[in-house]
Structure 1
Amino acid sequence: MTKPLHDLHDVELAALAAAGGRREFGELVRRHGSAVRALLRRMGAQAAEADDVAQDAFLTAFQRSAEFRGEGTFAAWVKRIAARQYLKRKSRDARYVAEIESEEMAPAVDTPGLVDLDEALKSLSETERLCVSLCHGAGMSHPEIAAAMNLPLGTVKSHVKRGLDKLRARLTPEPAQYGRAAHVV
């Protein structure tokens, strides 16, 4: 008797998919599809584009499922595929290349109260958002990001650090928000 699909580990599902198991691969898509689309949205893709790139990434992952060895998580593997495909798509867009060359810092938006991560990411420049998303969302190393974006390694490190510093400043609540009791002397 075989286990139900939901009881199988991602490595087992990928191995079965590599042998042509479409249902098993469908289970992997069900498990990880929303996380892949969320990463793409954080990288700057609109909803329809995120869906398209995610679909292409899963198709590529299905075709290359024999290459997945289980050394990392399946989610990280397919996120890397999706991130690279998104970057290729963006690099084909001449307007994007011009934007990176003449890029200015995105203005900070002053929002009272809590800000969610997606909103905070929108306050970063395009390159900072991509570098931070690839590093912390797709699990890519700085050298991998540098190669994928065709940027010097030091530049990638600077964008990641600057982006994280901006996110930290934006997502850290102000001490005054907690309110202090009046101290009477």
Structure 2
Amino acid sequence: MAKRPIDMHDVELAALAAAGGRAEFGELVRRHGSAVRALLRRMGAQPSLADDVAQDAFLTAFQKVGEFRGQGTFGAWVKRIAARLYLRRRSREARYVAELEGEPEPSGGVQAGELVDLDEALQALSEVERLCVSLCHGAGFSHPEIAQSLDLPLGTVKSHVKRGLDKLRARLAPVVDQHGRPADVRA
């Protein structure tokens, strides 16, 4: 009895998809679609744009699935495709250049009992910091790959990643009193 697509590993599905297996590629889309859209939203794409870019990324992946060799995960491979498509779209629209100069307003830490969403915390970063952190930690790009993709010097990318991570840590860290205890939000 043949294995069902749902029971197959991504590498098997990609190989069958490369041979024309639409159902197998559909299973890959089902497995990884939401993660790709989430990455794009974390990079700054509005939900509808994230959906459009994710669809384009999966179309590109379908056309190039024969190039996927299983060196790394399929999810990481398609996220890299999506991130590059998003960056190209941003570059074409020439919006990100103006946003590079904007700095977010500083914000304090999290009060005890307050829930913070990573996506919300990422919105506190400047656009370029959000892109660099998302590409590095969400899409698995190396610093040199980010530098090339964003056409920025390598040192600048490293600075944006470090500064962005520092801001995220500060934003997500609980606020404590002078004794190191969680601050009371009712005060």
* Alignment pair present for 1:114 and 2:118: no
8 A contact 2:14–2:68 mirrored in 1: yes
* Alignment pair present for 1:52 and 2:56: no
Q: How many angstroms does 1:109 deviate by?
A: 4.1
8 A contact 2:107–2:171 mirrored in 1: no
Looking at structure 2, the residues matched to 9 and 108 of structure 1 have their Cα atoms a distance apart, in angstroms, of 45
8 A contact 1:10–1:74 mirrored in 2: yes
* Alignment pair present for 1:178 and 2:182: yes
8 A contact 2:103–2:125 mirrored in 1: yes
Q: How many angstroms does 1:175 deviate by?
A: 2.6
8 A contact 2:104–2:126 mirrored in 1: yes
Q: How many angstroms does 1:54 deviate by?
A: 0.1
Q: How many angstroms does 1:172 deviate by?
A: 1.2
Looking at structure 2, the residues matched to 157 and 116 of structure 1 have their Cα atoms a distance apart, in angstroms, of 24
Partner of 1:13: 13
Partner SS state of residue 140, structure 1: coil
* Alignment pair present for 1:155 and 2:156: yes
Alignment of 1:1-185 (within 5 A): 1-100=1-100, 103-110=101-108, 112=111, 113-176=114-177, 178=182
Looking at structure 1, the residues matched to 95 and 22 of structure 2 have their Cα atoms a distance apart, in angstroms, of 38
For residues 111-142 of structure 1, give each alpha carbon's deviation from its aligned partner in whole angstroms, at most 9, with x where no partner exists: 64231100000000000000000000001100
**Percent of matched pairs sharing the same residue:** 75
Q: Which amino acid aligns with 1:50?
A: A
8 A contact 2:54–2:82 mirrored in 1: yes
Higher helix content, 1 or 2: 1
Q: How many angstroms does 1:97 deviate by?
A: 2.0
Task: Identify unmatched segments of 5+ residues in structure 1.
Answer: 181-185
> Normalization by structure 2: what TM-score?
0.91
> Normalization by structure 1: what TM-score?
0.92
For residues 82-101 of structure 1, give each alpha carbon's deviation from its aligned partner in whole angstroms, at most 9, with x where no partner exists: 0000000000112322332x
CA RMSD of aligned residues (A): 1.5
Task: Identify unmatched segments of 5+ residues in structure 2.
Answer: none
Partner of 1:183: none
Q: Which amino acid aligns with 2:62?
A: F
Looking at structure 2, the residues matched to 95 and 121 of structure 1 have their Cα atoms a distance apart, in angstroms, of 19
For residues 67-93 of structure 1, give each alpha carbon's deviation from its aligned partner in whole angstroms, at most 9, with x where no partner exists: 111110000000000000000000011
Partner SS state of residue 95, structure 2: helix
Looking at structure 1, the residues matched to 41 and 150 of structure 2 have their Cα atoms a distance apart, in angstroms, of 18
Q: How many angstroms does 1:173 deviate by?
A: 1.1
For residues 130-161 of structure 1, give each alpha carbon's deviation from its aligned partner in whole angstroms, at most 9, with x where no partner exists: 00000000011001111111111111000000
Report the number of matched residues: 178
Q: How many angstroms does 1:4 deviate by?
A: 1.2
Q: Which amino acid aligns with 1:117?
A: L
